[in-house]
Amino acid sequence: MVEPKIRAALALAAFLALTGCAALTQAQPHTYNNPILYADYSDPDVIRVGESYYLVASSFHWSPGIPVLKSKDLVHWKIIGHVLPRLPFGPLYDMPGPYELDDTKSKPVTGTKYASGVWAPSIRHHEGRYYVYWATPDEGVFMATATDPAGPWTPAVAVIAQKGLEDPCPYWEEDGQAWLVHGKVGAGPLVLHRMSWDGTKVLDEGKVIAEDKARLPILEGPKFYKRNGWYYIFAPIAGVGTGPQAVGRARTIEGPYEWKDVLVPGNGLLGPHQGGYVETPSGQGWFIHFNSTGAFGRIDHLQPVQWVEDWPIMGDNTLPVLTHVAPDTGKWRPQDRLQESDEFSGSTLGLQWSFNHNPDNARWSLSERPGFLRLKAGPAQHLTTSRNTLTQILQGPHMQATTRIDISGMVDGQRAGLTLFGVKPVWIGAVKEAGVTRVTYASAGVETPGPVITGKTIDLKAFVTPDQMVRFEYDAGSGFTALGEPVMLAKFSWWKGSRPGVFTFVKGDAAPANHIDVDWFRVTHEVMP
């Protein structure tokens, strides 16, 4: 005989299973904290296709170009590919020199193309294909397409071969007309073109549809949308440091547009602007935008969007939110994370890696010594003008990067190590001179030699803290030891944040046969001891 208490418990369990609505079993909604990406994915744009979300961001001079990120919940993201395997815009993207730049200054950038390259891409999905548009300030507006956002993408097509343009975004009408809006270097005005249906060329000289230096100062980053009979341009104003996000609306795509500020500085964010709008399948609105944070670059925040009288009001009544209930995507995937660590055991580099220009492929390899990344030094006088510096986007607010390097193949004059790369770069590594190899710390071009290294390998470590300081340590066989004083990272480096990575170069006019082998590169986010 079943006891009464047991019978009651079984009855309650059956009731809960049938109804699925009791408070005891109802799942609580997830919440998220901003930033969703504490990493330099600046000028983000985002779309939804089915149940998946895709994000692209500016990559400037870094190669490969235009990272493509994927998410199922709009909060957690992973890298799935790049639009540009190399930067095809001209020979200067191979960084041939001659140079005026050195490790003590940020310009002139002659011979490097630092700060050029891909500015503010937009991504759209149209008739079964993905389209990405971007501008390079010196060459024009380009586009590429793909059936899979992970790639491969078609070669870049020049939509407008003209320098001085920025921030393009396409729009396709249901009646067969395609359009392209873009800005001009210097931020404004916004220009609208009719475009061919295949998106490969503009059909006219363009018409200015937004220009008001008093109401819309530093107008840039336009994104086109249509909703409820209104055409919308989402565009930031007043500069990346302190500006709000504005939205213009009109009944026709050519305007005239009326404007409203829909996300303004507040809650510790001085410049919460420039990004992309997306809706979940239920119609919830969300806006992903960047906020400039110095050495961490321009990191990404997620704001809820409420439509009020056909205006998109972002955050908490235009103020950025720091914590909020997560989007109703039906998914929650904290296991999706931006890639960082690499054991170099595969046949291709991890998607997190980018070179500081188009690489010299004869000077790096994953196959010459399987399980290692081999880097061969070329001639350079400074790290900022060295070929094949390999870095990834810094993720904060705490970051610890550790790498092991086999230095037995170094030659006199060679430098190699772990860097936080940017303007006035800092690094720790090995320097070989007159047959002797020493651990060395360098900051803004000034090298500080340490003890002699007698073994074949050295472990190098960098700690980055929320106050944007970095501290270096090395282990040559006797445990980790600090070298050099903690130093402030470069606040902004040719439109990008500071980047952890590995490098090697030889000071001199020629680089005889040499190499280093990077065994692994591991990243954690522990608080610095």
Q: How far is Cα 412 from Cα 471, in angstroms, rounded to an integer?
A: 27
Contact 258, 209 (CB under 8 A): no
The β-bridge relationship of strands 378-379 and 499-506 is parallel
Facing residues of 132 across strands?
123, 144
Residue in 73, 166, 220, 406 annotated catalytic: 220
Q: How far is Cα 211 from Cα 44, in angstroms, rounded to an integer?
A: 23
For residues 92, 98, 104 and 105, what is the CA-based torsion angle, rounded to 10 degrees?
-50
What tokens were used for 300?
């990404």
What tokens were used for 18?
């049938």
Q: How far is Cα 50 from Cα 47, in angstroms, rounded to an integer?
A: 10
In the annotation, is 459 catalytic?
A: no
What tokens were used for 142?
């380009």
Q: How far is Cα 296 from Cα 224, in angstroms, rounded to an integer?
A: 29
| Closest residue by Cα to residue 523 from 352, 367, 353, 399 | 399
Residue in 40, 43, 73, 459 annotated catalytic: 43
Three-state secondary structure readout of 49-81:
ECCEEEEECCCECCECEEEEEEECCCCCCEEEE
Distance of CA 255 to the CA centre of its chain: 33
**How many Cα neighbours within 13 Å face the side chain of 172?**
15
In the annotation, is 447 catalytic?
A: no
Residues with active-site annotation? 43, 220
